[in-house]
Amino acid sequence: MISFLSKLINKRRWRIIRFYLMGWTSAFVFLSIVRGVGTEELGTLKFDFISGLMIAFTLGPIMGIGSAVAQILVEERVYKHVSIGRLLLINAIYSVLFIVLLIVIAYGVYELYFGVPIDIITFAFDTGSVAVYFYVIVVDLLLAIFRQVNLMLGEGNLFKLLRGKFYTPREEERIFMFLDLQSSTAHAERLGHVKYSMLVQDCFNDLGVAVENEAEIYQYVGDEAVLTWKLKQGLQNENCLRAYYNFTKLLHKKSEHYQKKYDCKPFFKAGLHAGIVTVTEVGKYKKEIAYHGDTINTAARIQGQCNALESELLLSESLKGQLNSNDFAYTTMGSIPLKGKKDKVEICAVSLDS
């Protein structure tokens, strides 16, 4: 049972659930304060501040879980799988159903705590209810916007930015992985710009599987993606290596889809390196969290050696020495001169240990 729940609610889903739980509970507490302190209810049902808080702390988590489940379904099953017209229609239907659900649950909560002397239809259209529905729709929209901004900045980085965590540059020890789509020029010439962009879009959507291995998706640069981990998280359970193989496994699983839609089977090669980098926020009118340091350049140069060394996954010897696993095999490729670096770098090729 525990194993089933851990698969059903992975860390990414739990972050979504937690966000909506906190968001909706805070929203209903705020509404209780506005309606219960220094104001008088115009509707049939009147509650003092304490009663309002009881309702808020009951209704908030219930609506939070409902919103989180809807968001997870949209991100995993709907978004990028339907046209924009259908997506707008789904959003409209969702808004109506959300209000209906709110009415039913709120009526049940009021009945549980205080008893309701009116029927549910009268309750739904009681004086002041339209203002509450408008408030709920606005809150739902704001939470959805915050969710999208959080995704653009990277999971959890929005609140770190608001706290000023990246205002002053600071050092972190991190692992970086550069992934590059192979034969990208040939794919672009054959497919054309629009369909090639759709190919890259689909590949990077599938790259989302890497977050299950604690990966943070740092950047997309053309047909290249950059993943990063805090050192401890990347080394734990060899997440930095498993992320790559889980991604390639997913691409292989969906090979028929790619073959049918794009007449190709996309394949990525990758390079990894670990070390100290500086992290800070940059930009005045467009904020971005940026990492600087030789570690990033080295990881990029290592990836650039994949074709020359005929390997799909390369990493530095220094990173390999920090990993401890029997699931992977390493082949020493020797000291390789990398562009822009004075000293040669010891590089290893990685493969799954059969």
Q: What is the CATH number of the domain that holds 282?
A: 3.30.70.1230
Split at pLDDT 50, 70, 90, the class of 247 is very high
Split at pLDDT 50, 70, 90, the class of 141 is confident
Residue type at 52? G
Last residue of a domain, one of 105, 123, 153: 153
Same domain? For 132 and 279 the reply is: no
Split at pLDDT 50, 70, 90, the class of 233 is very high
What Rg, from alpha-carbon coordinates, does the chain have?
25
On whether residue 159 sits in a domain, the answer given is no
pLDDT over threshold 70, residue 276 = yes
Same domain? For 193 and 324 the reply is: yes
Contact 21, 61 (CB under 8 A): yes
Q: What is the mean pLDDT of the chain?
A: 86
Residue 248, domain extent: 165-352
Same domain? For 230 and 191 the reply is: yes
Split at pLDDT 50, 70, 90, the class of 224 is very high
Contact 86, 62 (CB under 8 A): no
Question: What are residue 173's DSSP bridge partners?
Answer: 276
Same domain? For 122 and 177 the reply is: no
pLDDT over threshold 70, residue 5 = no
Same domain? For 97 and 195 the reply is: no
Same domain? For 242 and 112 the reply is: no
End-to-end CA distance of the chain: 31
Per-residue pLDDT averaged across 289-294, rounded? 90
pLDDT over threshold 70, residue 43 = no
Task: Please give the structure tokens belonging to residue 263.
Answer: 């007449």
pLDDT over threshold 80, residue 301 = yes
Last residue of a domain, one of 153, 178, 198: 153
Same domain? For 175 and 322 the reply is: yes
Split at pLDDT 50, 70, 90, the class of 1 is very low
On whether residue 160 sits in a domain, the answer given is no
Count CB neighbours of 295 within 10 A: 23
Q: Which pLDDT value is given to residue 2?
A: 43
pTM for this entry:
0.79
Residue type at 105? I
Per cent of the chain over pLDDT 70 is 92
- Encode pLDDT of 62-114 as tens digits: 999 988 888 888 877 766 666 666 766 777 788 888 899 989 998 898 888 88
Same domain? For 290 and 195 the reply is: yes
Split at pLDDT 50, 70, 90, the class of 313 is very high
Task: Please give the structure tokens belonging to residue 276.
Answer: 């100290």
Last residue of a domain, one of 153, 173, 201: 153
Same domain? For 241 and 329 the reply is: yes
On whether residue 298 sits in a domain, the answer given is yes
Q: Which pLDDT value is given to residue 287?
A: 78
pLDDT over threshold 70, residue 26 = yes
Question: What are residue 273's DSSP bridge partners?
Answer: 176
Domain total of the chain: 2
